[in-house]
Structures are given as C-alpha cells and as structure tokens.
Structure 1
C-alpha cells in the first residue's frame, strides 16, 4: 500500500485529494501495527515508513517525525504584537468568553474565512514559539534567578508578554470557533469522560497545531501568573484562565484514539505540561483513556506519582521557572 501510494503521488498525475481513501486505509493499518517493537528493526522501519507515506491526507506534510508546532523558527523583524493594531484594544474586550460554541456563528459560513482564521492563528503561533524559546525563556530564567534585582525588567517583559497573549489568544479563539462552526472541530457530549464532553479535531496536523496553539497560550498565561507573584500580585483569575486552557487540551485527548499509536504518543508527550494543574483524580481519568503508553514509563493508575514529577519539570521549563535548555531526564523523552 505504501509503495503504491508513493508511486502514484510521485507521477504527478494524481492529486493528493484523489488518493485520500488510499491514505485513510494506510492510516488504518498504522493504527493496527501498534507502537514500534524496540527489538524488531523491521517492525520499526515499517511503522515509520507507513506514517511517512501519509502526508497527503490534507495536502500537507504530516510526518510524525516532523513537529507540527515548529520549534526551530527564525525570528522575524517585527512580531505580530508590535505591528497589529488589534493589540491596542481594551483588555476586557480581548478576553471574550470562549463558550459560544453551541450558537450558530454565521460569520464563519464562508470557507475562505475559516481558512483565513486558522492560518492567522497558525502564523501567530510561529512568532510566539520563536520568541518564547529564543528570547523570553532565557530572560525569564534570569528574572527567576535574581527576582529582587530585576523588578523593572520583570515589569517590562510582563507587559510585552501580556500584549502578545491577548492578541494571540483572540486569534486562537477565532480559529477554534471558525473550525468548530465549519465542522473541522467536533464537540461531543460524553458522560463517560470526566469533563462531560470531548473534542475531535480530525487528522494529525490539525490536532497538533491546535494543541500547540492552546498549549503555548497556556504557557504565556502561566508565565504572567508566576511572575506577577514575584511582584507580590496573586491573580487567581489569571490562574483560572490558565487552567481553562489546559482543560480544553484535556478534552482533546480522547480523540487521540483515532490516531495511530506513534502519533498519539507523540502528542501526549507534547501536552504533558498541560497536566500540571490537574489533580491526581483528573490525571487518573486521562491515563485511563485508551492511549498506548506501555513501555514508555506509563502503564496505569500506579504510575501517577511517577509521572507527576515529569509533568512539573516540563511545565517549569516552558514557563521560565527552570532552565529550559537542560536535558529532560525521563523515560518518556
């Protein structure tokens, strides 16, 4: 199946969309293959060859070995929060509630508007990831290490991050609502899931990109919360916004069962920081979902206490509370 797909796509005579059914069949086979068997080189090579053959599901590269959240980015000359006029709006207006999802949103009836909303958020994600990893995290670590000597620096950086978060958050919300209205994101009532509802985001790239948007927005909000505390301000409303973003990520986890095990595991590892505000009971519900994590340090309820330090460590790294450059020393890395 893989060889056949490669031959057909390489000739240029078949559009990606014409091979969609074939790729869906390949993804189905990949799900049945399970996680790579470390002792079987043939099994491992077949799994990754199979996954590598499926980028055409939506006409873009969905190779599981390539990150959909684009960690390695080149900094642009002018990030969006310095050039978008929308960033000057009133903060209360920028923080519109997400929960209008069950309403009919006519402004998103045009497919072009839906695509534009998604691409706008994805473009802002690139700016956020680039500045977070290249500029903000090193500066935040310096502030965290010497809080008494960096008060003015802290205030200045918090203003920049706050503005970026407001604009980025509004763009992510618009993209989410647009895709929800268009049926790209589906919301289901699920009494068997502890949140009472869940989301299905479709294929790997869309799922990965939206999780990246939500996760990086949660990073920015958590940064604002933690470093406001250094200034003597404990903002519980800000922490509530952070947790709400994390909960939205958790509601996407049941949909991982629609992906092949390798992709599902990759996304689960990626969203580990979102579980930092979870209680043990909430984390137990997450681990009880049908995600193949055996052989990767997580096998069930007994491993919650083993997983918790990893979650906290990763969360601190991406919110400036620990050195993000230090290697992860865990068996899920």
Structure 2
C-alpha cells in the first residue's frame, strides 16, 4: 500500500503567488508595514488563511523580525508554586524587553495542545511549558518545531528539549530521613497527581528511605480530591495500622491533610508528624507551622526564561540542556521539632 507523504508546509512564496504579489509585499503585510495598500493587504491575509501559512521562526530571526514575546503555559495559576514561577518569568522577560503571554491549561491535555498551537500560529518567539503529560505524542512535534520550547518542572519524556527541574527524589529523601530521625517508624505517603513524573520521583525517594531503614512496607495513598482524602485517611487512622508520620508530595495533598486533621481533631507534630513537599508563605500561619521541602520556584522561573531567551537569540548550545536545581528542608513544628524562638 502506497503511503501518502504529509502535506507540504506553505512558504512565503506560495502566499505571494496566491495573492498575486511579490514576496516582499507579503513580508511587509505580515509585519504591518504602512506602505501596503489595504486592498493588497486583504488579498495577502486571505491567502495566508487559505494556505494556513505560518512564518518560519528561523527566517524571522535572521531578518530581525522577532515578536519580542514569549508564551508561558502552566497547569494552574491559583497554585502558589506556579504563581511564583509565572511572576519570575514575567520579570525576567520584561528585563530583556519581552512580553509574556500567560495561559493556564487547567491540567487538561487538549486545552494545553490548543494553547501551544495558538501561540505557535500568532506567533510568539518561544514557549515555556509545564506539560500536563510529559509522555504525550503531540509533544514530539512541538519539540522538533521551529519555535523554541523550554519545559519547567517536568521534562518531555518523548523528545529532547531544554528543561529546568528540581531534585524531586533527593527532596523526598530529605523529608523522610528527617521523620526517621524523629524516631517515626510507620510513615505513610499522601500523593496527588501520581501520574506525573515529578510525583513518581518523590514517591520513589520515600520508598527508598523506608527500604534502607528497614521500616514497615511503604503505604502510599493516591488521592484525587479532598473528599477522598477525608474518607481514606479516616479509615487509615481508625485502623490497627495507624501511621505516626505522613509525607505529602505537593501543596494540594498537604492542604487536604491539614483540613482532614482539623475535622478529626488530630494535631500535627504531637499526634502525628507531618512533612510536605513544596513550601508556601502561609505555612508559617498555620498552627503548628508546616515543615516542608522548599523548591526554588522563583529561580525555576528566572532560569527557564533566560534559557528560552538564549535559544531565541541563537547563542546557546546546540544540544538540549537539562538543569536540575537543589531543594532545601524548611524545619518548623509539624514534624515534631521544637519551636525556635
């Protein structure tokens, strides 16, 4: 059976031919040149739509025709972690004279794919992306396209792109080793979004620590909602295998645990130790304050933006760069440590 070849991507010359003008007129129309007659511009725009023409990024770069804008797509703007990342990206881009088009995918792969497509069409000079699913096949085309892409927090598993991440496994080990140091022996893990590579790494770090310390078998609660967290944790704490410590894998799971503790009259730090992954400002306002693994969220945003701007300017390495930033443990009282005066 004969396999048909993919349709050829329209060129600037194709648009010029369809509109009955020269290539220079098409270029001037795209870039808003004032000396193109309105009737001519209409014909060019109609040809662009008809042929689904997209200006080639490399060609724009060589002629100095960059849009001076980048795209940023995160899963959830309400998440404090991604809010800090987004702010740092915008500040870094602004310092270099770039505008940031910000979008939230709502953890929906179809929304994310549409946003990437729209940003590529309009176009932006590069895209910063926190992928919903690092293994989805559509990312192959994104990674090999003409628009530079840098991923934040999660690297693309099906293709090679620049990425900026943190030490997820090492951070989890740091948290669990601290609990073990308090003499805790029945340590359970509470996880959300356990399909994500970042969460898998944190769970792996937790399990490694328990094996190495020869503690009871790991107990991982994979939850999808606050209601499920309340039901599952009530059953666990009312069982004969009640944990004496919890490790939570991200902000959402930590907050669900705190709310569940409140309803069950359980006090973190006394009745059960608690250490979470991700640190946010309001953890100091909770009683007791929450011990947590702090990710350098602002540095993630700054570094990823700088890396993307280097790609846009063409002055970075030819091969992809994977950057992993260190994390730190912020000790407060939920783990059982005494308050520092």
Structure 2 length-normalised TM: 0.26
The TM-score, its normalising length taken from structure 1, stands at 0.26
| Structure in which a larger fraction of residues adopt strand | 2
Bigger helix share: 1
